[in-house]
Amino acid sequence: MNKNELHGGARYLGGKVEKAVGDAVGSRAWQVDGVVDQIAGGAENLYGRARGIAEDAVDAAPGFVDVAKERLRNAGEAVGDAASRAGNRARDVADRAAGRAHDVADRVSGRAHDVADRAGDAASRGAARANATASNSPALWALGAAVGGYLLGWLIHGERA
């Protein structure tokens, strides 16, 4: 729980109390101010939650990247081993078939290694993009919450005046 969640929750509860007091004494100004505080507090609390989730995602992302790299490395090695085995078999066939299949097996093995390398690079780029997107999200949430809170406050206070 971060300070935005705490402050937003406190402001929301304060707005509830303020509206209840306004209802009890019949003060429209207190009622409106209480509703404004509830909305602003709820928006700040929601921003705090989103920020916490984004921070958790950013903290967890390097671990996911490492796991993904390790799995891709293992898959690449498995593909390389399989390609190597296929190449050895193909070499045996090539030796028996006048050497032509030997060239084909080498090209297949090289392409399999190229494909494994490309897959590893693509996964690394995707993980970096996901990490960048997760770390940039709090700013977008803050901007959206600020604009929404400002517009709601302006609409509510504009009708009162």
Q: What is the number of other CB atoms lying within 10 angstroms of the CB of residue 139?
A: 11
Spatial distance between the Cα atoms of 49 and 40, rounded to a whole number of angstroms: 14
Q: Give Rg (Cα) of the chain.
A: 30
Kindly indicate the confidence band of residue 161, based on its pLDDT and cuts at 50, 70 and 90: very low
Residues with Cβ < 8 Å from 117, sequence gap 6 or more? 76
Q: Is pLDDT at 145 greater than 70 in this prediction? A: yes
Answer for the pair 47, 8: CB distance below 8 angstroms, yes or no: yes
- List the Cα angle 157/160/161 in 5-degree steps: 90
Q: What is the number of other CB atoms lying within 10 angstroms of the CB of residue 52?
A: 15
- pLDDT digit string (tens) for 71-112? 777 877 777 677 677 767 766 665 666 555 556 667 777 787
Per cent of the chain over pLDDT 70 is 70
pTM, 2 dp: 0.40
